[in-house]
Chains A and B, each alone.
Chain A
Amino acid sequence: MTAAAAGGEAIAGLNLEPMQPSRRRLARPRGKSLAGLILLGVFVIIAIVGPYVAPYDPSATSGAILQPPSAAHLLGTTQTGQDVLSQLLVGCRVTLLIGVVAGLVATSLAVLIGVTAGYLGGIADEGLSALSNIFLVLPALPLVIVLAGYLRGAGPLSVAVVISVTGWAFGARVLRAQTLSIRERDFIKAARIKGESVLRIVVLEILPNELGIVISALLLTTVFAILTAASLAFLGLGSLSSWSWGTMLYWAQNAEAFTIGAWWWYVPPGICIALVGTALGLLNLAIDERLNPRLRYAQPASRRATAQTGPAAADVPALTSGAEA
């Protein structure tokens, strides 16, 4: 869309200033990225070891129906006596898996289509852009619902694929815009004159400079995928045969857990989804800050107030002291 390209695209979290060619600094993790990494790490570990450390088989029913948290069941039990904690631990794997697979597939599609469109230009560009714009504009969930409705009973991987089909267009558009602007930079022109093959240029020169956006797109798409998959499962459209957090919520809703106040059943899965999303979101923000130096430091208010020996504090916007009216 020319509109966005002219006005400069700044979609939440997606940074658009490519790094200088061949300047890659190893960042020391600080604040946001550290929190995000740790949080994500916790869940990744759970995803890996979950099924092994779960105290019970998540599908095993028992007589202890709708028990609040206790020593035997740390997160209580469901309406059929299943252990909530075990479901949570085991379900982590499928939830994350769907998210990651959908994220990877969607992002790969985005890179393929977006970079190609941006680099080739001309008719190929027009066609591919039209394609991504159409997919972008079509509302995702209704389409996914319809598709999933037909694909009832399919496994989690099918769900992931369906989600990818609706989620790639976003990143593709951003990557296209970025590729268009990088293409005109001198070092690319130099490479072309040198006679480097298109594949080499794209893979070795262009992509490394778009790494930030690609990673950002990957993170955001993964969040999108996890939320969409959870929604689908909740609606009874996901694969109900395997345990995921969305599935837990489906069964909880089915058993009217919300109305009878069985909070131990529905609160943990929801919070876990939110935490994983937050972790990815924080990482995304951290990358954004790293690549867009303008987002980095403002002088913290406390320092501004006390640091001055005589002359008044800094004057340009966002810093309050000085011109007010």
Chain B
Amino acid sequence: MRFFARRIGFYVVALWAALTINFLIPHLMPGNPVQLLISRFHGQLAEAAVRGLEKTFGLHTNQSLVAQYWGYLEQLAHGNLGLSITYFPASVSSELRASLPWTIGMVGTATVVSFLLGTLAGIFAGWRRGSRTVDAIVPVSTFLSSVPYFWMGLLALTVFGVSLRWFPLAGGSSQGIPGGFDPAFIGTVLYHAILPAATIVVSSAGGWLLVMRNMTVTTMSEDYITVAVAKGLTQRRIMFAYAARNAILPSLSSFALSLGFIVSGAIVTEIVFSYPGVGYILFNAVGNDDYPLMQGIFLVITLAVLAANLLADVLYAALDPRIRQGVTS
């Protein structure tokens, strides 16, 4: 229990840090974003809109920084992330609500699949070490994980979308099919998700593979594996209950940590495939100097990553009794 208390405490602090960074960025950067926006709209913004923007940024020039900070936090507590400039007058939160499901669906699934695939392959690669074909998987994985996500995506798009015309070139679903939980819609969603998801899987599975393989090899030289063999246990039992269960622990903790990296790759993939997720609107936001939207997205992504970290911690504790009981060493 103490373990969880500490972890949750940490995440609360991290969240607070993210919020504060989010607040400070426009204040630390050169230029006044509100002025920028006003000039962009050639002074056509209504008074209310300008006030709204100032509030979003907490940029009341006649208030102290601390007061602005409190105002900002207050806004957040009400779920008010401000108004988006690109999609004006839509609010940031509404834009996020529209795009988040797409990202969670495609990227989330792809990430989990990639982790499972890579980890299982890694166990196998570590277990069957010594054969030339199996060992060749290591440089291959190294190469694959060095390929930039977006390049892989573009290549896939070109080959499978343009040349072979197997898959669509953009979007999350076909134009003509309305949303809803019917097979037609689900079908087209899946159809559009395959290529971007596959790109994510191919690019990131290699990383998991390498971690798991290394850990499996290291774990296999532990004494308890020798004992397991001596006991006459089946290969399957040894591999899963003794080797993998121990080897996966660092994988889990590094899964959580590399989530940030995964998110980055996912963003770029969405952009490449014009997939209507959070990454895609982030890109548009950047192109339009839409600071409220950009920062709203950053906040939401951070929240998601923190939540995923917490989840990974829970899983880790479930698997390793030493952690549950707060034992060090």
Contacts and interface: CB of A to CB of B under 8 A. Distances in A.
Contact of B264 (A10, A142, A274, A281): A142
Interface residues of B, number: 98
Interface of B is mostly: helix
A37 interface: no
A13 B210 contact: yes
A320 B257 CA distance: 35
Which one of B138, B148, B154 has the greatest number of beta carbons of chain A within 10 Å? B148
A186 interface: no
B235 A325 contact: yes
A136 interface: yes
Interface in A131-165: 133-134, 136-143, 145-147, 149-151
B205 to A, nearest CB: 12
Contact of A259 (B26, B162, B243): B162
Interface in A1-42: 1-13, 32, 35
A71 interface: no
A277 B238 contact: no
Contact of A295 (B154, B162, B217, B317): B217
A3 B302 contact: no
A118 interface: no
A134 to B, nearest CB: 5
A2 B26 CA distance: 35
A277 B157 CA distance: 23
Given A138-B18, A266-B151, A317-B220, A1 B225 contact: no
Given A259-B158, A320-B128, A11 B218 contact: no
Interface string B230-252: 00101110110001000001100
B287 interface: yes
Nearest to A259: B162
Interface residues of A, number: 82
Given A7-B323, A231-B268, A134 B13 contact: yes
B253 A2 contact: no
Contacts of B70: none
A213 to B, nearest CB: 14
Interface in B140-169: 142-143, 145-152, 154-155, 157-158, 162-163, 169
A146 B241 CA distance: 44
Interface in B276-295: 282-283, 286-287, 289, 291, 294-295
B147 A300 contact: no
A285 B239 CA distance: 24
Nearest to B127: A318
A319 interface: yes
Interface stretch (A56-64, A79-87, A204-212, A222-230): A222-230
B215 interface: yes
A315 B235 CA distance: 11
A3 B294 CA distance: 33
Contact of A2 (B3, B157, B289): B3
Given A282-B142, A295-B217, A317-B225, A146 B25 contact: yes
A4 B127 CA distance: 23
B326 A2 contact: yes
Interface in A248-263: 249, 253, 258-259, 261, 263
B59 interface: no
Given A142-B297, A142-B301, A270-B154, 18 more contacts: A3-B323, A6-B329, A10-B214, A10-B250, A12-B207, A138-B305, A139-B305, A142-B298, A143-B298, A149-B286, A223-B146, A231-B268, A234-B268, A235-B271, A253-B154, A259-B158, A281-B142, A300-B131
